[in-house]
Amino acid sequence: MLEKSKVLLFGSVIFLLLVIVNISLFMSNRTLQNEVGQRSQYIQQSLQLEKIYQPLVRALADLAANRHDTQINALLNEQGISFTVTPTPAQPAPTK
């Protein structure tokens, strides 16, 4: 009889530990799912805003290049955006 109670006690302790592990894994999984959901939402919103950002950055780069504006150029460089100005090709003189 004493042997059966030890086995039952041992089994109960193991069962309790497994329940605790299961609860902790469930909570951890739920936290990770929330984090993934937030990142997914951020990515979706970023893709929607990209349609606005590209023309805005292009306009700022054109403005900085045309006016030789160092402040706008510095602002773009701070954001990791660099650009180069390609000179317009010279028109050859007409021959007579």
In the numeric block, which tokens belong to residue 58?
A: 């292009």
Q: Which own/partner pairs from 50-59 qualify as long-range (CB within 8 Å, at least 24 positions apart)?
A: 57/81
Q: Give residue 37's domain range.
A: 2-78
Distance, CA of 84 to CA of 27 (rounded, Å): 51
pLDDT at 78: 93
Residue 9 lies in a domain: yes
Distance, CA of 12 to CA of 90 (rounded, Å): 88
What's the domain count of the chain?
1
Mean pLDDT by 10 residues, the chain (96 residues): 88 97 98 97 91 90 89 91 77 67
Residue 7 lies in a domain: yes
Q: What is the model's pTM?
A: 0.51
Residue 83 lies in a domain: no
Residue 89 lies in a domain: no
Residue 61 lies in a domain: yes
Residue 92 lies in a domain: no
Residue 87 lies in a domain: no
pLDDT at 1: 73
pLDDT at 90: 66
Residue 29 lies in a domain: yes
